[in-house]
C-alpha cells in the first residue's frame, strides 16, 4: 500500500481553493466599476439609473431588483400639456389686461377723489348796540336754538333813552291836540272874529305839531328796539364755537364777538380733476367716506362751480395780464369744486367742518343696495365704451344756465310802530269845540 505523495496532496486542494488570479482581478474591477457603468448606460438610454449595492467583504450578498423602465410620453399627453400651457398663458394675459383696464378706470376716468372736505355756514354775530357785557348765557361748543339769548349788554342807558322818548311823545301829542282844536275853532269863526291869515297860521301850527308828533313816535320805536338789542340772540340753530368773551368785556356795535355753526347748512365739497368732469351729472348719487369711519355719507350732486382762479389772468404793469412763460411738459389737470348736498348721515358719524372725505360718484340710477362688485363691473363696462368710442358726456348733466333758484333764509327784522292818534295818548285833553278840556 503506497503512501500518498505529499506533493500531490498539496496540489489537489490548491487547485480547487485558489481561484485564477487574473479572473479574481477582473471580477473585482467589474464589481467596482459596475455602478458607474450602469448609471452611464441608463443616462445614455434615457432610463432611470438602477442602484446596484456594493458588496462589502464579510457581508451577505443581497439580491438586486431591477426597476421597470419608464415609458416616454405619448402624442396625446404632449398635446394636452401644450394645450394647458397655452390656456394658462392666455388666461394670465386676459387677467393682466383686465387688471390694467380696472386700474386705468379707477385712477384716470372714474369720478372719485380723495380731495374732499366737509363745509358749513358760520353765523358771525355782532351786537347792534355798544355797551358792557353784563351776562354770558352760553359756553363754548354749546348747542343753541334760534332765538336763544347768547349774552346781555348793560340795558340801563337804553332804558333811560326809551323813557325819555316816551315822555317827549306825550308832550308832542298834547301840543298836537291843542293846535288842532285851535285851528278847527278858527275855521268856524266869521270874518268879523278872525282873518284868513290867522286861520292859515293856526292850520300851519297844527301841521308842524303833527310832524313833531310823528318824529317823537319814531324815536320811541328806535329806543325800544335798542333796548331789545341789548339781548343778543342766536340767529340759527347750531353750536357756539371758539367762545372767547367774558363778563365785563365791552361789546362794540358791528364787531363780531361770537360765532355759531349752522347745523342746518352742512354740505360736502369735492375737488374733481377736469378729466373726470364728463362723468359727473347734477343729481348723481354720491358717497363720501370720512377718515376714521367706514360707513359713507350719502348725498346728491347739487351744483358745479363755474369758475376757478387763473394765475395768468392776474393784472401786472399797466393792467396787462401777467402770463407765465414757463409751460411744463407734464400738465396737471385742474380741479373743479363740486357741491354735494347731504341726504343721509350714518349713526355715530359726526359732521365737523374741515374733515377730509373720499368722494365717489355712483350715478343717478345706481341703487344704494347694489354690491361693490356689480357697481365696479358696470363702471368698467361704461369706461370700455368710452375708451372705444371716446368720452361721451351725457347731455344735460351740467346745464349751460341754471334756472333753479336757491332757497333763501330771511331773518325777522323789527317793523316801525304804526302811528298813533294823539287822543289815544292823552284822552280827554281836546274835547269837542263847545266843551272845556279835562284836566288830569
Judge contact between 105 and 380, C-beta under 8 A. yes
Over the chain, what is the mean pLDDT?
A: 79
Structural domains in the chain? 122-259 (2.40.50.100), 266-306+332-397 (2.40.30.170)
What pLDDT does 430 receive? 66
What pLDDT does 322 receive? 86
Beta-bridge partner residues of 136: 151
pLDDT at residue 4 is higher than 80: no
3-state helix, strand, coil in the chain (%, to 5): 40, 20, 45
What pLDDT does 98 receive? 80
Residues 323-362: tens digit of each pLDDT: 888 888 888 889 999 999 999 999 999 999 999 999 999 8
pTM for the predicted model, two decimal places: 0.65
pLDDT at residue 224 is higher than 80: yes
Residues 56-85: tens digit of each pLDDT: 555 555 555 454 545 556 788 888 888 999
pLDDT at residue 257 is higher than 50: yes
Determine the Cα–Cα distance for residues 136 and 216; give it in Å rounded to an integer: 34
Residues 200-221: tens digit of each pLDDT: 888 889 989 999 999 999 999 9
Residues 286-333: tens digit of each pLDDT: 999 999 899 999 999 999 998 888 888 888 888 888 888 888 888 888
What pLDDT does 364 receive? 59
pLDDT band at 40 (very low <50, low <70, confident <90, very high): very low
What pLDDT does 215 receive? 93
190-199 average pLDDT score: 81
Non-local CB neighbours of 169 within 8 Å, separated by 6+ positions: 213, 216, 217, 219, 220, 425
What pLDDT does 32 receive? 42
Determine the Cα–Cα distance for residues 371 and 392; give it in Å rounded to an integer: 25
Judge contact between 140 and 413, C-beta under 8 A. no
pLDDT more than 90, % of the chain: 42
What pLDDT does 11 receive? 45
**What would the DSSP string read from start to end of 286-313?**
EEEEETT-SSPEEEEEEEE------GGG
Residues 85-124: tens digit of each pLDDT: 999 999 999 999 888 877 777 777 678 899 999 999 999 9
What pLDDT does 433 receive? 59
pLDDT at residue 371 is higher than 80: no
Name the nearest CA neighbour of 358 among 121, 120, 110. 110
pLDDT band at 199 (very low <50, low <70, confident <90, very high): confident
Amino acid at each position: 500500500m503506497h503512501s500518498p505523495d505529499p506533493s500531490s496532496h498539496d496540489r489537489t486542494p490548491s487547485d480547487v481553493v485558489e481561484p485564477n488570479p487574473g479572473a479574481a482581478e477582473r471580477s473585482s474591477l467589474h464589481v467596482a466599476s459596475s455602478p458607474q457603468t450602469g448609471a452611464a448606460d441608463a443616462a445614455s438610454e434615457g432610463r432611470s439609473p438602477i442602484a446596484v449595492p456594493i458588496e462589502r467583504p464579510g457581508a451577505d450578498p443581497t439580491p438586486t431588483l431591477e426597476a421597470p423602465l419608464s415609458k416616454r410620453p405619448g402624442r396625446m399627453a404632449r398635446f394636452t400639456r401644450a394645450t394647458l400651457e397655452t390656456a394658462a398663458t392666455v388666461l394670465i394675459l386676459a387677467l393682466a389686461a383686465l387688471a390694467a383696464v380696472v386700474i386705468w378706470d379707477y385712477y384716470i376716468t372714474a369720478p372719485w377723489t380723495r380731495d374732499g372736505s366737509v363745509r358749513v355756514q358760520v353765523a358771525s354775530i355782532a351786537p347792534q348796540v355798544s355797551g358792557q357785557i353784563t351776562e354770558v348765557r352760553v359756553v363754548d361748543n354749546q348747542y343753541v336754538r334760534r332765538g336763544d339769548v347768547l349774552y346781555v349788554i348793560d340795558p340801563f342807558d337804553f332804558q333811560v333813552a326809551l323813557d325819555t322818548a316816551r315822555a317827549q311823545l306825550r308832550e308832542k301829542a298834547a301840543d298836537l291836540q291843542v293846535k288842532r282844536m285851535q285851528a278847527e275853532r278858527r275855521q268856524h269863526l266869521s270874518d268879523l272874529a278872525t282873518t284868513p291869515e290867522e286861520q292859515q297860521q293856526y292850520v300851519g301850527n297844527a301841521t308842524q305839531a303833527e310832524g313833531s308828533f310823528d318824529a317823537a313816535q319814531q324815536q320811541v320805536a328806535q329806543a325800544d328796539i335798542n333796548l331789545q338789542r341789548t339781548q343778543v340772540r342766536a340767529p340759527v340753530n347750531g353750536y357756539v364755537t371758539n367762545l372767547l368773551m367774558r363778563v365785563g368785556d365791552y361789546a362794540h356795535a358791528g364787531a363780531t364777538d361770537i360765532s355759531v355753526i349752522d347745523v342746518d347748512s352742512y354740505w360736502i365739497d369735492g375737488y374733481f380733476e377736469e378729466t373726470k368732469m364728463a362723468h359727473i351729472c347734477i343729481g348723481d348719487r354720491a358717497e363720501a367716506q370720512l377718515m376714521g369711519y367706514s360707513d359713507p355719507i350719502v348725498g346728491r350732486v347739487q351744483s358745479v362751480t363755474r369758475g376757478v382762479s387763473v394765475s395768468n389772468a392776474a393784472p401786472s404793469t399797466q393792467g396787462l395780464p401777467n402770463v407765465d412763460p414757463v409751460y411744463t411738459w407734464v400738465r396737471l389737470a385742474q380741479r373743479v369744486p363740486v357741491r354735494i348736498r347731504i341726504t343721509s348721515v350714518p349713526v355715530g358719524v359726526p359732521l365737523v367742518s374741515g374733515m377730509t372725505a373720499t368722494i365717489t360718484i355712483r350715478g343717478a340710477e345706481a341703487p344704494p343696495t347694489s354690491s361693490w362688485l356689480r357697481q365696479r363691473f358696470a363702471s368698467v363696462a361704461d369706461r370700455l365704451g368710452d375708451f372705444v368710442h371716446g368720452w361721451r358726456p351725457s347731455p344735460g348733466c351740467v346745464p349751460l344756465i341754471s334756472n333753479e333758484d336757491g332757497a333763501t333764509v330771511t331773518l325777522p327784522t323789527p317793523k316801525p310802530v304804526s302811528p298813533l292818534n294823539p287822543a289815544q295818548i292823552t284822552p280827554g285833553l281836546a274835547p269837542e269845540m263847545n266843551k272845556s278840556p279835562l284836566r288830569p
